[in-house]
Amino acid sequence: MSHGSVNVVKDLGRRLFGGYAELLRIPHTARFSIGSVIACMPFPMVGMTITISVQHFYGNYSLAGALTAVQAIALAVASPVLGKLVDKFGQRRVSIPTIIVWMVAATAMISCINAHVPEWVLFCIVPFLAAIPPWGAMSRARWTRLLKGDSERTNRALSLSGVFDECMWVIGNPLASTLAVISGLLAFSFTGMCVVIGALMVLTELSTEPPSQSDLAREAGMTRKEYREHEAAKAAALKTEAIAETVRREKRAQGASEDEIRAAIEVALAEQATATKESIWGPGLIAVCVTWFSLGAFQSATGISIIAFATEQDMKQYTGFVFACFSFSSLVGALLYGAKNWTIPLWKRFYFCLAVVNIGIGTFMFAQHLWVIMLIYLVIGVCQAPTWINGNQLMLHLVPPTRFTEGVAWMGAMNSIGSSAGSAIAGQFIDRYGSHGGFTVVTVLALASLVIAFIGFKQIKSSTEQPTLTEVAV
């Protein structure tokens, strides 16, 4: 390669990834960003390890699907609770006891599977595997605090978090399938080691930890309830100002008089006051969470269906690599997506990426070989991480920053509930009709997910036209 070509490649690299490097050069950011990803290894490892181990020892996809469904439901219940506790009391105070519970549960679970205990015992243990601190949301909360008021770098930081998440799935999926085929104990031991290392990296980094609501209220000389009410009023004032400015701009463009403008502003503010609630729950957040529920449903059904399909073709050992291809493609998508400063409206990007993923996965029922599925995954995966990045960016428009962890946790919780439903339904169809039955479920759920997302179109579009709430402390 000529010297000129090398310079062109270097210049392109700086243009694409220079923004990421700039973020990671901020003191301490690399440590908590990478640590949170390492600590998140239970997400790609646990579900696949349980599925492969249970199918090996019990020979039952329905049982494997039911167990992963119970764990997903427990995760859906625990995640918002843990997110809310983190916002109230701080990341370290909540994470340490949570990690201890997970370690004990993981040890008990794999021991019982290897001992082939009665099925009801597994159902008693598996909910405790949901004791996972919301590492991703906590990392993103640190970024939004560090970059407060800088929307361009905040969006890039959220993209970078998506890149790291995809690295976790790229590594975790093939490792889980490979280690679980060898030994479930080995897979869980590796996962536990990652949890400890990642937790130490994140929780010992104190300078970037966002202050909890308790800390902020103490500094302000208020109770936590009084402080939240105070900051909710600030958030409402910000929205009121934005609504008034939007109406004023629209009416002036229409040539309205000042009296007509004032009347229109009063009407808009009255409608806003009627709709305002103290809760973070509004139409936009509900629309996003329902969309994430349906997204989780068809993606979990896809996972168990691919494992069944690979088993039928005597290629079970390659399932992790198929999932890794999807994650690798998603990683590339996250890198490129975050490197560009987008002028296309957020809601358009959200729906485009969602449609590519849903329709693409819906074609799996027509695949005749595992490698065909892998190729489809490679093509559509470039839109997977951007879909999640767009969802996280929507949260910046929907909830105040120190309730950001809670908002993202709710989004993840709904995704987990959907995952539990998808895997349980697919497991039943696979036991009756084989992998083709599972892929039929996947196609139906994928199309339903897209329909549900478009039902919430008005709410999602309007939420992106509101200002981000990064100017508010709570």
- Both tokens of 32, joined, read 């908590």
Count CB-CB contacts under 10 A for residue 126: 24
Do residues 45 and 173 lie in contact, with contact meaning Cβ atoms separated by under 8 Å? no
Q: Per-residue confidence at 276, pLDDT binned at 50, 70, 90? A: very low
DSSP, res 116: T
Statement: residue 465 has pLDDT above 70: no
Rg (alpha carbons) of the chain, rounded to whole number: 23
Average pLDDT value for residue range 400-427:
73
- In this predicted structure, the answer to whether residue 37 has a pLDDT above a threshold of 60 is yes
Confidence of residue 97 (pLDDT cuts 50, 70, 90): very high
pLDDT tens string 366-393: 878 888 888 888 888 888 878 877 877 7
Which among 69-73, 143-147, 372-376, 466-470 has the top mean pLDDT?
372-376
Average confidence score pLDDT of the chain: 77
| Furthest CA-CA distance within the chain | 79
By percentage, how much of the chain surpasses pLDDT 90? 2
Residue 6 in this model has a pLDDT that exceeds 70: no
3-state secondary structure of 257: coil
Which residue in the block uniquely carries the two structure tokens 């910000």?
238
Pick 130 or 51 by higher pLDDT.
130
- The H-assigned helical ranges of 204-257 are 213-220, 224-253
| Whole-Å CA distances, 79 to 109, 346, 362 | 20, 26, 29
The residue behind tokens 């139906």 is 444
- The tokens for 461 are 């579009």
Instruction: Supply the DSSP symbol for 208.
Output: T
DSSP string, 120-143: HHHHHHGGGGG----HHHHHHHHH
Task: Note the pLDDT of residue 14.
Answer: 64
What letter would DSSP give residue 204?
A: T
pLDDT of residue 100: 92
Q: Residue 273 is encoded by which pair of tokens?
A: 């006051």
- Among the CATH numbers 2.120.10.30, 1.10.10.10, 1.20.1250.20, 3.40.1710.10, which is that of 16-210+279-464? 1.20.1250.20
